[in-house]
Structure 1
Amino acid sequence: MASSYDRAITIFSPDGRLFQVDYAQEAVKKGSTAVGVKGKDCIVIGVEKKSVPVLQDDRTIRKIHKLDDHVMAAFAGLECRRSVSCENYKLTLEDPVTLEHISRSIADLKHEYTQTTGRRPFGVSMIIGGFDPDGTPHLFISEPSGVYYELLAGSIGKNEKVVKEYLENNYKDETVANEDLSLKLVIKALVPVVQTGARNMEIAIMTRDNDGNCIQRLLTTEEITAVLRQIEAEPMETA
């Protein structure tokens, strides 16, 4: 016997909402906090990590991923993998993918899943950062609805609002003038929402060398701790 009500999940509600998209966005809000900053000549991404069990290798739960030599991404919510898009673009056009192209590709796929019967929206937001072939740094955010946008700095995850407010008040040309200052800005933004310090932070920096090659570096716990000590000493230095 046929059902007397509509089972489709891609139908708008009377007030114009797709509830499955709302649910996907709620999944993102329960995910780890991530922050991205575009510096003058670098991209810095930081993520709040959950505590790792003693017997688990923490390398198996990375939150920041290398999509290509010049593109990295962090996610909040349910993980997805898009490095294949970069590889396909390079094989087709023989050029590295631009940041706008890979961000649009991810957004298009997400949007498709909000309107196709038998599928559900991806419960993930992503921060995508890196360098275009011309050497210009870019930072994008992609949301579950299929919306994507470029920005100077941004955050996703459960403490998005707290981090975003900090960035809005502290992102200035002088606070991102170089790699070290951009790194400090990211760590300062994470400090209020990461209670256990460096041990629960994952930070990656992408820069370009003199030959134009992109270099992505994941900071060690010791390096993050050293920056935290510098930050803690700053008020004493200015007193």
Structure 2
Amino acid sequence: MSRYDRAITVFSPDGQLLQVHYAQEAVRRGSAVVGIRGSNAIVLAVEKRVVPELQSDRTEKKIVLLDDHIVLAFAGVRADARVLISRAQIECQSYRLSVEDPVTTEYVARYLAGIMQQYTQSNGRRPFGVSCLIGGFDADGPHLFQTEPSGTYYEWMACSTGRCEKTTRDYLEKNFKPQLVTSEHGAILLAVASLLEVQYGGRGLEVAILKRSSPITKLSPEAIQSYITEVQKEKEDREKKT
């Protein structure tokens, strides 16, 4: 099987593109990322790696604004993500200049997925080793999309990617309730709780909230710690009842 991974355009006998699978493995080795589509807010929570003492932490951005109403978080190879983010930001501005309307969230997701798919069928290239969660507000309300290295994209109410993706997604499937995310507080609480399933103690978490007609807000470490404390207290209360 190893000889079938030498070129991205060669299928293995069982119909797989092995380089795409390797790119997906690079995503799974990246930081955990969770996105929640609330009624009035998009919440993105990420696990940031520890920054060396002499390094400026402003260069460690896992959550990036693409346009005034669209935000992106990623898991995987940072260099690949930087290229995709730059191209998406340019496309958002180009669309606004050409159409004189803000770009839709699905358009951005489809645009990025198209770029990623092109890199799975041309010689001399490799797939992007990154998965993106893209949240934004359109005329019909909030939307949350995910793109994968294969070039596919999906829309979600709640989603996770990166390290321990299955664990966090299982938690979201068990605990997501539409009435819970009608409030901003409930959506943030669910995002933090899902990351705590795979992130001990909540160190290095970053949480961003995007609301309609409002600039993106990033929670302070103190505010994140208050949510962590609340999650841990609720967990202890449940354990006492059982």
Quick check: 150-159 or 82-91, which moved more?
Answer: 82-91
Q: Which residue of 1 aligns with 2:163?
A: 158
Give 1:7 shift: 6.0
Quote the Cα distance in structure 2 between the aligned partners of 1:96 and 1:77. Answer: 28
What is the number of residues matched between the two proteins? Answer: 229
Q: Which residue of 2 aligns with 1:190?
A: 195
Scaled by the length of structure 1, the TM-score of the pair is 0.91
Q: CA RMSD in A?
A: 1.8
Question: Of the candidates 88, 95, 110, which is equivalent to residue 101 of structure 2?
Answer: 95
Secondary structure at the aligned position of 1:97 is classed as coil
Quick one: structure 1 residues 52 and 7, their matched pair in 2 at CA, closer, same or farther if it must change by over 3 Å?
Answer: closer
Q: Tell me the percent identity.
A: 48
Q: Which residue of 2 aligns with 1:86?
A: 92
Quick one: structure 1 residues 135 and 217, their matched pair in 2 at CA, closer, same or farther if it must change by over 3 Å?
Answer: farther
- Conserved in 1, the CA contact under 8 Å of 2:5 and 2:17? no
- Conserved in 2, the CA contact under 8 Å of 1:45 and 1:203? yes
Q: Which residue of 2 aligns with 1:175?
A: 180
Quote the Cα distance in structure 2 between the aligned partners of 1:168 and 1:97. Answer: 30
Quote the Cα distance in structure 2 between the aligned partners of 1:224 and 1:99. Answer: 27
Quote the Cα distance in structure 1 between the aligned partners of 2:129 and 2:142. Answer: 27
Quick one: structure 1 residues 107 and 6, their matched pair in 2 at CA, closer, same or farther if it must change by over 3 Å?
Answer: closer
The yes-or-no answer on 1:119 pairing with 2:118 is: no
Deviations 1:145-170 (A, max 9, x none): 00001010000001100000000000
Question: One-letter code of the match for 2:101?
Answer: D
Deviations 1:52-85 (A, max 9, x none): 2222222210101111100001111122322112
Unpaired runs of at least 5, structure 2? none
Give 1:234 shift: 3.0
Quick one: structure 1 residues 68 and 141, their matched pair in 2 at CA, closer, same or farther if it must change by over 3 Å?
Answer: same
Q: Which residue of 2 aligns with 1:204?
A: 208
- Conserved in 2, the CA contact under 8 Å of 1:74 and 1:128? yes
Quote the Cα distance in structure 2 between the aligned partners of 1:121 and 1:214. Answer: 35
Scaled by the length of structure 2, the TM-score of the pair is 0.89
Q: Which residue of 2 aligns with 1:47?
A: 46
Unpaired runs of at least 5, structure 1? none
The yes-or-no answer on 1:128 pairing with 2:127 is: no
- Conserved in 2, the CA contact under 8 Å of 1:63 and 1:75? yes
Question: One-letter code of the match for 1:155?
Answer: S
* Structure (1/2) with the larger helix percentage: 2
Quick one: structure 1 residues 214 and 6, their matched pair in 2 at CA, closer, same or farther if it must change by over 3 Å?
Answer: closer
Quote the Cα distance in structure 1 between the aligned partners of 2:228 and 2:143. Answer: 26
Quick one: structure 1 residues 7 and 75, their matched pair in 2 at CA, closer, same or farther if it must change by over 3 Å?
Answer: closer
Question: One-letter code of the match for 1:46?
Answer: A
Quick check: 229-238 or 143-152, which moved more?
Answer: 229-238
Give 1:236 shift: 6.5
Secondary structure at the aligned position of 1:176 is classed as helix
- Conserved in 2, the CA contact under 8 Å of 1:131 and 1:214? no
